[in-house]
Structure 1
Amino acid sequence: MDRHSNVATFTRRWIAAGFHALASVATWAWRGPARARAGSPIVHLAFCCLFITLPAAIASGKTIDVDSVLIRLIDEVDVPARAAGALAAVHVSEGTVVEKGQLLAQIDDTEAQLDHKRAAYELDIATRDAENDVAIRSAMKARDYSQKQFERLFRANVDRPRSVSESELEKARLDAEQDAFEVEKAHSELENARTRKSLTANALAMAERNIEVRRIVAPQSGEIAEVLHAAGEWVTPGEKIFRIVSIKRLRAEGFVQADQVTRDLKGAPVTVVLRDERGQRQSFSGTVVFVSREIDPVNGQVRIWAEVDNPDGRLQPGHRAGMSITLD
């Protein structure tokens, strides 16, 4: 039982004990002589305390008792295959306790590994191409030379008219323009190489993903409850391979009367009491986390369930137990 429940129980018992004690004093005083009754300060004190204690006793923490709740699983997950292939290995069996992320089985990934190697080589080539600016520097050298050659011929023709033919001058001008275009082309090809690098990087990431999806890992910590395939069997994406359950927290599901449902019911502390085969009581603390908004028209009840801590695993799914809900 948690601290909240202990405090509420202690408060109710203390108020009840005080109420009965004061009632006894008042009764004794009232049955005494009339003169004592009329002016006795004990009588006045007793009745004052009664009027103070009675509302407090009535308003003290209210308890809703649910005679029978069913214990159910909360943390339960089916683990499927994420790729098609033959199971190369199965590393767990029923009853194995696993941690989140632990490898449970391996689908054959031979082809995926080869694709990964090819993608890695292609990325290496693309990286070198994306970082190689030799073509740009070569084109810039050729452009600078042809531009200067054109300028020399042009000045020579100005200084000595007709020393350079028109066709020769025109060819030099066209060569200079063509080399300028080659510089732009080299820049464009370098940008394309960088884009190819990004594409091959994506291809490598996809190859890594294809390897990863062939590893079947535990999505949560718990215990293997079912193993549905053995090594060597063919599986397809979405096909269930394992079932994992955890009983560290469980759901206690039951019903209360609709007129017992209040605003503070959700979030209220609960105590689940289980009696073992020897009749011994075992208590578990929890909290109401769900209150249905639907009322059963036949019996006027509302479904609720509480989340109960079960660190020692003493409470098991399928148990029937009692539950007390403490309201402020």
Structure 2
Amino acid sequence: MTHRRFRIPCHLSLLVWLICAGLPLPVMAQQPAVVSGSKGGAAVITARACRVQPGDAADIPSPERGPLLKLLVEQGSVVQQGDVLAELDQDEALLALKLAEQELQAAQQKQTSSRLGQVAAAALAEAERQSEQAALDAQQAQLSAADTSGVRLAAAKEAEAAGALELAEASRRASPRSVSEREYLALTSQRDQAVIATQQAKHESELAALKARSMTKVAEQQLAAVARLRLLMETAEGTERAELAQLDVMKTTVEIARQKVQRRRLVAPFAGIVTERRKAAGEWLEPGEPVLRLIQTSRLMIDGVVSIEESQRLQAGQTARVRRVAAAAAAAAANSDVVVARLIFVSPEVDALNDAVRVRAEVPQPPAWLRPGAQVLLEIVP
């Protein structure tokens, strides 16, 4: 009888050998589990490690140094943007504001009552008119001084009278009875009058020249006065500009004082709920020291992570669903405890610790059960 040898497959022999040797059996590599569903045939990506975050959260700090006068809100108070939450002592800031306003008012009154520029302008205009008239008078005097016609006319009459007298004398020498004594005396008188007229004409010409020089000096003095008044007007204008600049500085000082009064108040930067009061009335505050904590609950954020492969299918604007962790199984069959969200951020970076990508979804009007800090499920429909 012929015995056939039974051949054991190689992989079974290896398995038997490992069992006999007491070594651990090899474990097949498991594929990562992905919680997915379908919506219209599209796979749903479930983000991991999801936590609810407030839309905005801020520790409201003290903007200035000083004692906390009063807190105007309680823990749990609902506030609107711009509401005053607390006030620091404002006495010193109010006094500084009042002083700045008084100084500004006094400077404005001084600037309004100041007429230096107007007076200088009026004086300059009058001096310019006088200078113009003086220049005209000087020019007229110079023309009069340059006119020698009167002297020439008197000299001509003197020469005529002297010539007539010489002819009479010559005639009398030739014939004593040719010119009567009366005629001779008349000719002599005419010659003497002509000499006096010539002297008077020369004198008047000299006076006209002196007057012309005098009027020229007056015109020069008027020009100098105009120059001085122009400098005075420029100085007045510079003073007015300096006063206006000082007014601007004082207005800025008043505005700074107002801002300092406003900075003695803590104002809500956004609408939300006060969750903590970290200081009490009367405590001393330093700039930047937290006084209140405010969170926004009218808009919530869901932060989670997905794998690198899943992130490649995601982009901002995609629809998402948020579920309670405890109610996830029951909500799978019903829509209770489910709220619609919108994916607003897919990180371009990969976390080096867990090879995951951060994502964030927004819930604009969250239900009452969705609170900041809670753990939820975030399902994203690519």
With the length of structure 1 as denominator, give the TM-score of the two structures: 0.72
Measure how far apart 1:135 and its partner are: 1.7
Q: Deviations over 1:152-194 (max 9, x none)?
A: 5555555344344887666544333222322222222222222
Q: Deviations over 1:26-50 (max 9, x none)?
A: xxxxxxxxxxxxxxxxxxxxxxxxx
Secondary structure of 2:85's counterpart equals strand
Asked if 2 retains the 8 angstrom alpha-carbon contact of 1:285 and 1:309, the reply is no
Summarize the Cα distance change of 1:301–1:183 in structure 2 as closer, same or farther, 3 Å threshold.
Answer: closer
**Structure 2 contact 314–346 (Cα < 8 Å) conserved:** no
- Give the match for residue 142 of structure 1: 123
Report matched runs for 1:102-117 at 5 Å.
102-117=83-98
CA distance in 2, matches of 1:123, 1:299: 64
Q: Does the CA contact (< 8 Å) of 1:112 and 1:211 recur in 2?
A: yes
Once the two structures are superposed, residues 101-120 of structure 1 have per-residue CA deviations (whole angstroms, 9 ceiling, x without a partner) of: 00011111222222222222
How far apart in 2 are the matches of 1:214 and 1:297?
A: 45
Matched, 1:62 2:43: yes
Alignment of 1:235-246 (within 5 A): 235-246=285-296
Separation in 2, partners of 1:296, 1:154: 93
Counterpart CA distance in 1 for 2:227 and 2:281 is: 68
Which position in structure 2 is the counterpart of 1:83? 64
Question: Higher strand share goes to which structure?
Answer: 1
Tell me which moved more, 233-242 or 145-154: 145-154
Counterpart of 1:162 in structure 2: which amino acid? Answer: L
Give the match for residue 25 of structure 2: none
8 Å Cα contact 1:64/1:326 also seen in 2: yes
1:93 corresponds to which residue? 74
Q: How far off its partner does 1:215 sit?
A: 1.2
Q: Secondary structure at the match of 1:224?
A: strand
Q: Give matches, 1:162-181, under 5 Å.
A: 162-163=210-211, 164=214, 171-181=221-231
Pick one of 267, 271, 282 that aligns with 1:232.
Answer: 282
How far 1:67 sits from its partner (Å)?
A: 6.1
The superposition leaves residues 216-252 of structure 1 with CA deviations (integer Å, 9 ceiling, x where unpaired) of 1011111111111112222121111111012222222
Q: Which runs of 5+ in 2 are unaligned?
A: 1-37, 142-207
Asked whether the equivalents of residues 117 and 233 of structure 2 are also in contact (C-alpha less than 8 Å), the reply is yes
Q: 1:186 to 1:161 in 2, by over 3 A?
A: farther
| Alpha-carbon distance between aligned partners in 1 of 2:107 and 2:209, rounded to the nearest angstrom | 52
8 Å contact kept, 1:69–1:254: yes
1:38 corresponds in structure 2 to none
Query: Tell me, what secondary structure is at the counterpart of 1:325?
Result: strand
Contact 1:247 1:313 in 2 (8 A): no
Distance 1:224 1:260, change over 3 A: same
Change (3 A) 1:167 1:307: same
Identity percentage of aligned residues: 25
Change (3 A) 1:169 1:65: closer
Shift of 1:266: 3.5
Quick one: distance in 1 between partners of 2:380 and 2:219?
Answer: 102
1:79 deviates by 0.7
Equivalence for 2:312:
262
Letter in 1 for 2:71: V
* Larger of the two Rg values belongs to structure: 2
User: CA separation in 1, counterparts of 2:239 and 2:355?
Assistant: 77
- How many residues are aligned here? 271
Per the alignment, residue 343 of structure 2 pairs with 288
Which residue of 191, 207, 231 corresponds with 2:241? Answer: 191
Distance (Å, rounded) in 1 between the aligned partners of 2:125 and 2:299: 77
Across the aligned residues of Structure 1 and Structure 2, the Cα RMSD in angstroms comes to 3.0
Deviations 1:83-136 (A, max 9, x none): 111112211121111111000111112222222222222323333444556222
Residue 267 of structure 2 is matched in structure 1 by 217
The code of the aligned residue for 1:88 comes to L
Task: Say whether the 8 Å CA contact 1:256–1:301 is kept in structure 2.
Answer: yes
Secondary structure of the residue aligned to 2:296 is strand
